[in-house]
Structure 1
Amino acid sequence: MDEMKDLRWRQRFENFEKSYLLLDKYSHKEINNELKRGGVIQFYVRTIELAWKVLKDYLEAQGYIVKTPRETIKQAFQIEIINDGHIWLDALAKRNITTNTYDDALAKKLLEDITDLYLPELTNLYEKLLKE
């Protein structure tokens, strides 16, 4: 493993970890207004962005060549770093929607998806990479 690539993914992991821990902390609290909802969604957007980037850096350190978020997710699924590639691809798509529009009904649905679907996948990734 290339030392620089190994160092890069570990540094990226530190940023991912900070963001993931905030998302995990606040997504389990009562979210009863737009400000809290918007805050958790922003933690999610930042965390999912850092998640695919740390995956990319980790894969590259392992010798894989990936260029896009989609390629990264597919490769990570193939070598079993992540459990459900479909959920990850959906999470990336939702990240794109939230950065370009705001709709209250969409925000409420996204919060459900974050806690029920995406956070468990992010937790699995966090725990796997933490062991590395």
Structure 2
Amino acid sequence: MSVNPDRWKQRLQNLQRAQARLSKACEQESYNELELAGLIQTFEFSFELSWKTLKDLLEFEGYDVASPRHVIRTSLEARHLNAVQCETLLDALIKRNLLSHAYDEKHVLEAQALIVNSYGPCITNVTNYLVKKNLDE
């Protein structure tokens, strides 16, 4: 299988745009019902792009990875993530489906807190690392 050396860099551009939207959404003081739905959706999209960008980078570096869990764990081994980022992204992976089906107020508020306080900042840190890595090459 031939790996496009620019694929991870191309996907990184999409991740940067998604992460910027997520950061902006996380900055709000309060949310109405539609804004909360948008926050969760923006997180889902950003999370998908995060692990897929890491996957493309790992494949470029010669790793054979497939599932999101394998990508996240291998990213730790390859030193693209630190232990806290790895655990945060694994937690986000586990809770991703729960977050997308958060219909009652308790679960929606739990999703908001996780995204604003944990997952969003982690995605920002990972994106910043990847941008720096791209610039250093």
Structure-2-length-normalised TM-score: 0.87
Change (3 A) 1:29 1:130: same
Does the 8 Å contact 1:22/1:43 carry over to 2?
A: yes
AA at the equivalent of 1:86:
E
Uncovered stretches (5+) of structure 2, i.e. residues with no partner: none
Within 5 A, what are the aligned runs for 1:1-132?
A: 4-83=3-82, 84=84, 85-131=86-132, 132=134
Could you tell me the percent identity over the aligned residues? 35
Matched length: 130
Does the 8 Å contact 1:26/1:40 carry over to 2?
A: yes
Deviation at residue 80 of structure 1 after TM alignment:
2.0
Deviates more, 1:83-92 or 1:38-47: 83-92
Matches of 2:129 and 2:75, distance apart in 1: 12
Change (3 A) 1:20 1:115: same
Matches of 2:90 and 2:4, distance apart in 1: 25
Give runs of ≥4 in structure 1 deviating > 4 Å.
none
Does the 8 Å contact 1:31/1:37 carry over to 2?
A: no
Kindly report the root-mean-square deviation, in angstroms, between the aligned alpha carbons of the 2 structures. 1.5
Structure-1-length-normalised TM-score: 0.90
Change (3 A) 1:28 1:100: same
Matches of 2:12 and 2:5, distance apart in 1: 11
Change (3 A) 1:32 1:99: closer
Matches of 1:107 and 1:47, distance apart in 2: 18
